[in-house]
Amino acid sequence: MKFGVLIFPGSNCDHDAYWTIEQVLKQPACFLWHESHDLENCDAIIVPGGFAYGDYLRTGAIAKFSPVMESVRRFADGGGLVLGICNGFQILCESGLLPGALIRNTGLKYVCKPVQVRVENAATPFTNGCSQGEVLTIPIGHMEGNYFCDADTHSQLLRDNRIVFRYSTPAGEISESANPNGSLDNIAGICSAGGNVVGMMPHPERSAEPELGCVDGMKIFLSMVGAMARTEPFNLLTRRSRDSV
C-alpha cells in the first residue's frame, strides 16, 4: 500500500511523514512534487505540515493552485484517502476539500506542545484503530490552528458526525482550558462528507515511535493501512446507510 507525501516550497514536515510511513509503518512511500500532476499510483496522500509557499497571503492560499492539488481533488472525489496535517489541514480547507478555515490562534502566539485530543468518530479510515472517546496525546505546532466555520456548517458537521477530533483534558473532558488555540467547539480535526479526507492540526508523525516520547499518532497511520486493505473506496455516508439496513 503506497503513500504519497506532497512537497511544496516551504514544507518542513514532509520528511517526518515519509520517515514514519517507510521506516516505522514499513509501507512504501514516495514524494510528490507540487508542480506535478502525477500521483504515481499512490493509495493514500499525505498533505504535510510546514509553511507552503511561505504562508504568503494566508496559510494554504497559494498551495491550493498547485498542479498536484488538482490531482489530489480528483483522487479524493474518487474515494482516495487524503490526510492533511497542520498546514496540510489549512491547504485542504483552502482547496475546498474540507469546509471552514484555520485562523490565527486566539493568544496570537505560536503554540508548540503535546496536547490531548478525544476521538469523536472512530468509524473513519483514519481512526478505525481507535476506540470511540479514546484520548490521544499528539503534539501541535502552529500559529493559525484556530478552526472556524459558520453556524450552518458547524451544524452540518455535528449532524453528520464529521468532527473527528476535539481538544480535551487527559481525562477526556472538553473544556476551554484544554483548547490551545481558541478553535470553535474545541475542534482539532474534521472529515469530508464521504469520510475519506481528514484534516487535523496535531502532528501524528511526531508521536509515532517511542523515541519521540509517545506512539499515539501511529494509530492514525495504522488505521489508514487497515482501511486501504478493503477492496472498495471508502465512503462514510454509504457505509452508514449499509450499517443501518
Q: In the predicted model, is pLDDT for residue 241 greater than 70? A: no
**Active-site pick, 13, 34, 42, 86:** 86
pLDDT at residue 233, rounded to an integer:
53
Residue 130: closest CA among 218, 53, 62, 206: 218
What is the number of other CB atoms lying within 10 angstroms of the CB of residue 213? 11
**Is residue 205 annotated as a catalytic residue, yes or no?**
yes
Mean pLDDT for the stretch of residues 165-183:
98
Domains of the chain and any CATH numbers: 3-243 (3.40.50.880)
Please, which pLDDT band fits residue 232 given cuts at 50, 70 and 90? low
Please, which pLDDT band fits residue 235 given cuts at 50, 70 and 90? low
Condensed to tens digits (0 to 9), the pLDDT of residues 53-94 reads 887 778 888 998 999 999 999 999 999 999 999 999 999 999
pLDDT at residue 111, rounded to an integer:
96
pLDDT at residue 61, rounded to an integer:
86
d(CA 50, CA 27): 23
Please, which pLDDT band fits residue 243 given cuts at 50, 70 and 90? very low
Residue with more model confidence, 52 or 131: 131
**Active-site pick, 94, 120, 144, 205:** 205
pTM (two decimals): 0.92
d(CA 28, CA 77): 23
DSSP secondary structure letter of residue 27: -
